Amino acid sequence: MTARLKKAKNKLKIISMVDYRLPKFEFEKIKAPKIKPFPLLKGRNFRPLLITIFLASFFGFLAGALSGGYFYLEIKDYLAQLNIELPPPEKIVEKETIVEKEYVPQTTQEEKIIKTVQDVSPAVVSIIITKDLPIIEQYFYEPFEEMGLPFELQIPQYRQKGVEKTEIGGGTGFIVSEDGMILTNRHVVIDEEADYTVLTNDGQKFIANVLAKDPAQDIAIIKIDTDKSLSVAKLGDSERLQIGQTVIAIGNALSELQNTVSVGVISGLGRTITASGGGIVETLEDIIQTDAAINQGNSGGPLLNLKGEVIGINTAMSLEGENIGFAIPINKAQKDIEQVKTLGKIVYPFLGVRYVLINEEIKKEENLPVSYGAWIVRGDQPEEAAIFPGSAAEKAGLKEGDIILEFSGEKITPENSLAKIIMKYNPGDRVILKILRGGQEKTVITNLGERSE
């Protein structure tokens, strides 16, 4: 899972070629034979000879050029009288050398991928997670020394010697406002005692503050402070996705390889997964599945379409299969961004029930009267009550064992879950619930509560 943000222990090993040096050999020196100069090249005989050769060459070249041009014109005029034309002298044209300075994309799709990466990469950031960890040192204890006995026995012991700032993991995020608001995964910034540093694509480092964490989804918003206007990733519409369309994932792979790019397609839509990592286990609904590589450290990075728009937030990968990654649809984060801008926090409508979605299998196993709805049950632990104290469900009189059939007219099914329906409403909204209790249908009315981190 990309939710596991523990930094990879094995560093990348780059092996350089060895510069081998051969042993030196000394060769016996060979004396060159002496050549006696030609007698004519001695003394005063050399200068007249050189002048004679130069003048002969010059006048010979000049005579050849004049006579060649004269005879060419004479022959051309004579042949013209016979209606015969000489071919024009051959022109020597130097072939132009073309040097390509940049790579030329071979297809339109490749061109769009390259442009998208170039446009969006400045808005993608790496998130470095650091924490003060204790420094443990080893020392040896000699019990017989205290007793004054002449025996030597050293027992190893360990003790803390201060603390040091240590990098414990990393993730990815992307800038969604010019003043430094960044979208990422909640599990990336889940540790309240850790510090978070943002590394931009151009190498700048900023201390990040966690503004809000989504209590229901793996989404968080952090902020960096800067005087400069930052590059912003454009958000798309995840409701208009199609299975098979090309997508691009960018992220801090393995928490070491900044802005790593992978390309794939949308493999599925509307998936429901149970993700674990970082000490949390959660069920995520209505998730995008892709075969674009999503590695550890990619959590919180953007999933892009070929228009350069963010259509998902990379969040998890399957350890049991190959090229099976998952991303949260960007439309789920749009509301979070607006709430943080206006309210300073992320709030959710809250009914306050613990439930199991009913299907044909659950109906048979539990001998239930219907094959749909949300069956209100308590959790496995004693403190996991079926109805949350003080919640809208308690105020409406809901009880353990009730089955919520409809939520304001919408039928509850595994495909249209209670959590998915509630997300369409706001805290304080008045809703009508159709429930089944003891074989009898009832209608109850309540106002949704508020849930925040």
Residues belonging to the active site: 187, 218, 299
* Alpha-carbon distances, residue 400 vs 16, 82, 226 (angstroms): 67, 118, 51
What SS3 state is found at 317?
A: strand
Q: Judging by beta carbons within 10 Å of its beta carbon (0-12, 13-18, 19+), is residue 143 exposed, middle or buried?
A: exposed
Radius of gyration of the chain (CA): 40
What span, in angstroms and rounded, lies between the C-alpha atoms of 195 and 197?
A: 7
Q: In sequence order, which residues have a C-beta less than 8 Å from that of residue 156 and are 6 or more positions away?
A: 138, 139, 140, 141
What span, in angstroms and rounded, lies between the C-alpha atoms of 434 and 398?
A: 11
What span, in angstroms and rounded, lies between the C-alpha atoms of 378 and 356?
A: 10
Task: Give residue for tokens 């803390």.
Answer: 160
Q: In sequence order, which residues have a C-beta less than 8 Å from that of residue 421 and are 6 or more positions away?
A: 407, 408, 410, 412
Task: Give residue for tokens 């299975």.
Answer: 243
Return the sign of the alpha-carbon dihedral for residues 265, 268, 269, 271. Answer: negative
DSSP state, residue 215? S
Bridge partner list, 265: 246
Task: Give residue for tokens 């439930």.
Answer: 355
Residue type, 396: A
What SS3 state is found at 110?
A: helix
Residues found in the chain: 453
Helix%, strand%, coil% for the chain, nearest 5: 20, 35, 45
